[in-house]
């Protein structure tokens, strides 16, 4: 059992749509370490966002238990959430957006996050003056400024071009290595999962979860046979091969 992180037991979630019920999860159990990068991978509509919303307390489960332990003690974790759209306030500058939820943030902390996300030169810019990757960096800095126990990211780079996306994936690894914070990263992109994950949780068509652990360091060559084979296995689990 993990020492720090989310422990999810027998989770059930359904949505009522008019007189009908849509079951997203009927009984899933999993562990998400609080000190690693865990990628939740699955096809569109399989329930990735729903799971993330439950972890971040934006939604509730119907049955089951979701707890977070820190060195074996149950705690209510502080979570930082990054969405696909940056959700920045257009009338605030970069530095004002970052400190918006952390009114007590001093300049030292603000500068730490600006520097970590390479935003120093843009601290007085408005969101309309930023590229997509820059806006992403601001929303990550904002989530980190809250000093969360764990960072939850819901397809944060889906709208970015290939090169910016690769850069941002490396940023996630950098943040994880610098802050030692756990990251839960939702994507439907297998290459993205293989590039950044310590652990991949595949949500299968039958809604069971298949787990893969990657023990490799982060200078990964996805063209080598280990990753090519792993990708085939994951595609198979997703029912795509």
Ligand X SMILES: Nc1ncnc2c1ncn2[C@@H]1O[C@H](COP(=O)(O)OP(=O)(O)OP(=O)(O)O)[C@@H](O)[C@H]1O
Tell me which residues touch ligand X (CB under 6 A): 15, 17, 22, 24, 42, 44-50, 188
Q: Toward ligand X, which CB reaches closer, 45 or 239?
A: 45
Q: How far is the CB of 52 from ligand X (least distance, A)?
A: 8
Strands (E), 106-154: 150-154
Q: How far is the CB of 51 from ligand X (least distance, A)?
A: 7
Q: How far is the CB of 14 from ligand X (least distance, A)?
A: 9
Q: How far is the CB of 84 from ligand X (least distance, A)?
A: 8
Q: Toward ligand X, which CB reaches closer, 174 or 189?
A: 189
Q: How far is the CB of 135 from ligand X (least distance, A)?
A: 19
Closest CA to 176 of 80, 75, 44: 80
Q: Toward ligand X, which CB reaches closer, 25 or 113?
A: 25
Q: Toward ligand X, which CB reaches closer, 44 or 128?
A: 44
Rounded to an integer, what distance in angstroms lies between the CA atom of residue 108 and that of residue 241?
Answer: 51
- The three state secondary structure string of 35-85 is CCEEEEECCCCCCHHHHHHHHCCCCCCCEEEEEEEECCEEECCCEEEECCC
Q: Toward ligand X, which CB reaches closer, 42 or 77?
A: 42
Going by their DSSP bridges, the two strands 209-213 and 199-203 should be labelled as antiparallel
């Amino acid at each position: 059992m993990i020492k720090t992180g989310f422990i999810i037991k027998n989770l059930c979630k359904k949505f009522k749509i008019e007189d009908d019920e849509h079951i997203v999860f009927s009984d899933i159990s999993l562990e998400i370490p609080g000190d690693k990068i865990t990628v939740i991978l699955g096809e569109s509509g399989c329930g990735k966002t729903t799971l993330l919303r439950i972890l971040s307390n934006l939604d509730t489960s119907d049955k089951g238990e979701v707890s977070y332990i820190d060195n074996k003690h149950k705690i209510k974790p502080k979570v930082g959430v990054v969405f696909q759209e940056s959700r920045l306030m257009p009338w605030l500058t970069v530095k004002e957006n970052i400190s918006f939820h952390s009114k007590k943030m001093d300049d030292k902390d603000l500068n730490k996050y600006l520097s970590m996300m390479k935003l120093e030169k843009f601290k007085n810019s408005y969101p309309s003056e930023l590229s997509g990757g820059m806006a992403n960096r601001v929303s990550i800095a904002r989530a980190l400024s809250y000093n969360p126990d764990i960072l939850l990211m819901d397809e944060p780079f889906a709208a970015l071009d290939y090169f910016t996306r690769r850069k941002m994936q490396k940023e996630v690894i950098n943040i994880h290595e610098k802050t030692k914070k756990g990251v839960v990263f939702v994507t439907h992109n297998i290459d993205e999962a293989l590039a950044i994950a310590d652990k991949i949780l595949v949500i299968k068509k039958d809604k069971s979860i298949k787990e893969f652990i990657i023990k490799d360091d982060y200078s990964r060559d996805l063209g080598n046979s280990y990753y090519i084979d792993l990708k085939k296995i994951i595609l198979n689990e997703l029912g795509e091969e």
